[in-house]
Amino acid sequence: MFLIDQLILLAAVLILLGIFSSKISARLGLPMLVLFLLVGMLAGEDGIGRIAFDNPQAAHALGTLALALILFDGGLQTPLKSIKQVWKPASMLATFGVLGTAVITGAAASYILDISLLTGMLLGAIVGSTDAAAVFSLLRNAGIHLNPRLKSTLEIESASNDPMAIFLTVGLLEILVNDMQPGWPLLQLFVMQMGVGALVGIAVGYAVLKVINRIHLQASGLYPVLVTAAGLLSFGVAANTGGSGFLAIFICGVLIGNTQFAFQRTTFLFHDGLAWLSQITMFVVLGLLINPSSLLDVWWQGILIAAVLVFLARPITIVPILTLFGFNRREMTLVSWVGLRGSVPIILAIFPLMFGLADAELIFNVVFFVVLISATLQGSTLAWVARRLKLIEQPTAQAPVTLEITALGDVDAEIVEYSLSENSRAAYRRLSRMALPESVVVAMISRGDKVIPPRGSTILHPGDHLFVVLHVDYKHFVEQAFADKGFQLARPIGELRMKGATKLSDIDWCYGYGVALNQGRDDLTLEALCIAQLGDNVADQAEFEFAERHFQIVEMVGDRIVTVRIKPLPSVSSAE
């Protein structure tokens, strides 16, 4: 019992050290994975912590679980639109790019380390894939804004190239250790890994969406747990049926993340935190596994192999692929430089140790050294290289930051928090001018340490947090209203019920779909438009078409038009 208590204390201390080290990451210009690894190395047997950890099996198990959760979070945050846009170049980089990098690096490693060509190829395969955690962290958290096509290519390549590296590593180990013949057996292994992994990921992803949108759990905190279990299920089923668990869990995450479901935002936040915990745990444990003194024995070989990988293998492999898809020289240079190596190579370097390969320890030490060089050199200079290549762009308009607070039981409504940015449509605008749907209620506004009563005269400010009660069908409309200027959701499907007193210029400002409604008049209201269009035919349920929209009076009190229903014309909606 005392040992377990010590382990819990030790784990907590190491995780806290990992978290605090992230605070100095930006100041030092080092990727966080390097700092996490250094924390583990300093806590290890040769460091100040003197923790003896020599268990490759445990490190492999923890690393595999952590990497699966990181890839799942990456899938949840990857828009399907991005995949559709760049799946061809990204898939080529994730397969042929990894293969070419492995061959060139492996041939060089064979000569530099004086080992057999197959063993060299094994080392090349291990370092062949880029690291999803490092790439996601740098591109999403370091404020580097690239054009969407380039950014999506880098992220999707890094998230999808691990299965190819794993396939090459396992295949070469089977040849080296178990005398498997290259050719048809190797091709079968490839087809099984990719095919089964993809099918399982799709099947589990669709199944969990059917369940999560129909099941009613009493505890809202169980929804993120359900999604996590679904991701791990896809990994486990694929891995136990001969497929790639990493490919399956990534695809499952993409399907779930691109579909609306209950407590979606809460689930995303939960998995973001879980991914960070996984990164810290994985890198600290891998840092514990290495003895820093053993790295000194292979320092010059590691530098040479890292140089071949960064300056020869990666560029030679990716340039022909990206040329086929119309990338320019500056973009190809950046893609070549963002070939960061991270956790996957270190985890794969444990495989030879588990297989009992003769040169396993040499391979592990060299791979670890190569990862440190790659992550430090490429990760710390990424922003500088992007600026020199003039590829950094102004941030694009974004949807508002939202936080789903809770669902209101059988009322079919939710309380959602919206955080306004400096560039938000709502910034410096009166609440009454936000043209919110009729049933949407702003319940509270928080500004700093103050609570602002939500009145029509209240002027909204950047940094305000608005707590909004809304019907689920209106969520995409409200998100559009509070989004950055220039951000445009796909045309909302469904009707929009507005108060008759709502100004048409406010509707245009908040939503801006299709032809402008106000026709140049800032004071024109929905009620006035209905009177102008219907004349003497103003009555409940009266209808007309105007500016590519269909209008219907829903409620009148005396002669006053209280509520109007607006929806896009079917022909316009289908055309878009």
Does position 15 have pLDDT exceeding 50, yes or no? yes
Query: For residues 388-417, b (16+ Cβ closer than 10 Å) or e, as one string?
Result: ebebbeeeeeeebebebbebeeeeebbbbb
Question: Which residues 6+ apart lie within 8 Å of 289 measured at CB?
Answer: 40, 44, 53, 54, 55, 56, 59, 350
Which alpha helices (DSSP H) does 417-556 contain, by range? 475-482, 504-510, 526-534
- Round to whole Å and give the CA distance between 484 and 235: 37
Mean pLDDT (whole number) for 375-391: 81
DSSP letters for 77-115: TS-HHHHHHHHHHHHHIIIIIHHHHHHHHHHHHHHHHT-
- Round to whole Å and give the CA distance between 201 and 230: 10
Q: Where are the domains of the chain?
A: 2-47+94-180+278-388, 397-489, 494-576
- Round to whole Å and give the CA distance between 165 and 348: 9
Task: Give the DSSP H/E element, type plus range, for residue 61.
Answer: helix 56-76
Does position 254 have pLDDT exceeding 80, yes or no? yes
Which candidate, 315, 345, 331, 338, places its Cα nearest to that of 129?
A: 345
Sign of the torsion angle spanned by Cα atoms 300, 303, 307, 313: positive
Do residues 70 and 275 make contact, with C-beta atoms less than 8 angstroms apart? yes
pLDDT digits (tens, 9 = 90+) for 262-317: 777 788 888 888 888 887 787 777 777 777 777 778 888 889 999 999 899 999 99
Residue 54, CA distances (Å) to 9, 74, 406 in order: 19, 30, 46
Question: Which residue has 């896009």 as its token pair?
Answer: 568
Q: Quote the tokens at residue 124.
A: 């090349």
- Please tell me the predicted confidence (pLDDT) of residue 490: 56
pLDDT digits (tens, 9 = 90+) for 460-497: 999 898 888 888 778 888 888 888 877 766 555 567 88
- Round to whole Å and give the CA distance between 267 and 404: 9
Q: What is the CATH number of domain 2-47+94-180+278-388?
A: 1.20.1530
CA 309 to chain centre: 26
Do residues 286 and 347 make contact, with C-beta atoms less than 8 angstroms apart? yes
CATH label, 397-489, candidates 3.30.70.3460, 3.30.70.1450, 3.30.565.10, 3.40.109.10:
3.30.70.1450
Q: Which of 111-120, 242-251, 390-399 has the lowest mean pLDDT?
A: 390-399
- Round to whole Å and give the CA distance between 134 and 412: 40
Residue 463's region, left for phi above 0, alpha for psi from -120 to 50, else beta, is left
Which one is predicted more confidently, 81 or 306? 306
Q: Report the SS3 class of residue 559.
A: coil
Q: Is the pTM of this model over 0.85?
A: no
Which one is predicted more confidently, 338 or 256? 256
The band of 320, judged by pLDDT with boundaries at 50, 70 and 90, is: very high
Question: Which residue has 């990456």 as its token pair?
Answer: 74
Which candidate, 60, 65, 21, places its Cα nearest to that of 40?
A: 21
Q: What integer best gives the mean pLDDT of the chain?
A: 81
Phi, psi at 473, each rounded to 5°:
-70, -20
Which candidate, 24, 36, 16, places its Cα nearest to that of 372?
A: 36
The band of 112, judged by pLDDT with boundaries at 50, 70 and 90, is: very high
Fold exhibited by the domain 494-576 = 3.30.465
Do residues 245 and 71 make contact, with C-beta atoms less than 8 angstroms apart? no
Which candidate, 219, 259, 108, 242, places its Cα nearest to that of 163?
A: 242
